[in-house]
């Protein structure tokens, strides 16, 4: 069987399993144009602060790690791995796109637009909080203290915008919002625990890879996970209750 056909078959089989477990035919969410337009506007404005960037510290290129760093961050100083960074990015795209595909197969497109809008809005708002914080804090990434770091990485915008982790906030926002969506569509399905566990295990893998890559400290990814998970719970809940 070709990979593409195998993937489609997997989606349809998961949809069949979910449908036999008390699926809701419609979206559990309701959109309010005025409120949603405001949330999207705030999210877009916040995310655009990524374009602001952050100036290099005065000590660059001979900077040393600050002596007041927390112990859990010390082990990350000097980490640098381009393969880890690349794998983390692939996983993030997967965590954003796969839930949309799974929800389409699960819902047979009945309420899929509402589900997708809420999940993507959650990710946008997570990015807004992330980018505003990054620009405000201006923390140097661990790899900036590694002499082997390539010039293009040192010159990249994220080299001095480490706190908080955007990969982590996006991953946990996607994982949590999809888990909430699946839970609301299938409130009695045993598969909801699988969705919750697998999605958050993948999000955690992204966070750990970003530490290994040298782009973030432990506190960066912990803060990103907190932001993403909080919004991943709050935004879908808001759309289900109003």
Q: What is the mean pLDDT of residues 204-222?
A: 97
Half-sphere exposure of 223 (CA within 13 A, CB side): 18
Q: Is residue 179 part of a domain?
A: yes
**Considering only CA atoms, which of 208, 9, 239, 17 is closest in space to residue 106?**
17
Residue 33 forms part of a structural domain = no
Q: Cβ(232)–Cβ(97) under 8 Å?
A: no
- Rounded CA gap, 199 and 121, in Å? 18
C-alpha span between 179 and 183 (Å, rounded): 6
Is residue 167 a contact partner of residue 186, using CB atoms and an 8 Å limit?
no
pLDDT at 59: 74
Measured CA to CA, the distance from residue 176 to residue 179 in angstroms comes to 5
Question: Is residue 23 very low, low, confident or very high in pLDDT (cuts 50, 70, 90)?
Answer: low
70 vs 23, higher pLDDT:
70
**Can you give the pLDDT at residue 2?**
54
In a domain? residue 90: yes
- Confirm if 162 and 142 have CB atoms less than 8 A apart: yes
Residue 172 resides in a domain? yes
In a domain, 34, yes or no: no
For residue 56, tell me if it sits in a domain. no
What would the mean pLDDT of 154-167 be, rounded to a whole number?
91
Higher-pLDDT residue of 32, 11: 32
pLDDT value for 68: 80
In a domain, residue 55? The reply is no
- Is 152 within a domain? yes
| Mean pLDDT of all residues in 189-211 | 97
According to the model, what pLDDT value does residue 11 have? 45
Look at residue 10 and tell me whether its pLDDT is greater than 50: no
pLDDT at 242: 76
Q: Give the count of domains, the chain.
A: 1
Is the entire prediction scored with pTM above 0.85?
A: yes
Range of the domain at 87: 75-242
Higher-pLDDT residue of 18, 204: 204
């Amino acid at each position: 069987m070709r990979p593409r056909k195998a993937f489609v078959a997997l989606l349809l089989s998961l949809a069949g399993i979910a449908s036999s477990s008390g699926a809701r035919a419609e979206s559990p969410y309701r959109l309010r144009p005025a409120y949603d337009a405001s949330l999207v506007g705030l999210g877009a404005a916040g995310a655009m602060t990524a374009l602001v960037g952050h100036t290099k510290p005065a000590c660059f290129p001979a900077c040393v790690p600050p002596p007041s760093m927390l112990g859990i961050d010390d082990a990350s100083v000097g980490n640098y791995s381009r393969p880890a960074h690349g794998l983390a990015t692939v996983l993030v795209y997967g965590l954003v796109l796969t839930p949309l595909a799974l929800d389409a197969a699960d819902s047979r497109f009945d309420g899929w637009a509402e589900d997708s809008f809420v999940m993507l809005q959650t990710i946008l708002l997570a990015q807004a909080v992330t980018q505003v914080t990054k620009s405000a804090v201006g923390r140097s990434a661990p790899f900036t203290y590694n002499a082997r770091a390539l010039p293009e990485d040192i010159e990249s915008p994220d080299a001095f915008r480490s706190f908080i982790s955007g990969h982590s906030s996006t991953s946990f926002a996607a994982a949590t919002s999809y888990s909430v969506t699946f839970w609301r569509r299938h409130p009695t399905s045993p598969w909801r625990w699988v969705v919750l566990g697998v999605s958050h295990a993948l999000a955690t893998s992204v966070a750990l890879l970003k530490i290994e890559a040298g782009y973030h400290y432990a506190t960066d990814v912990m803060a990103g996970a907190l932001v993403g998970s909080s919004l991943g719970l709050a935004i879908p809940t808001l759309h289900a209750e109003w």
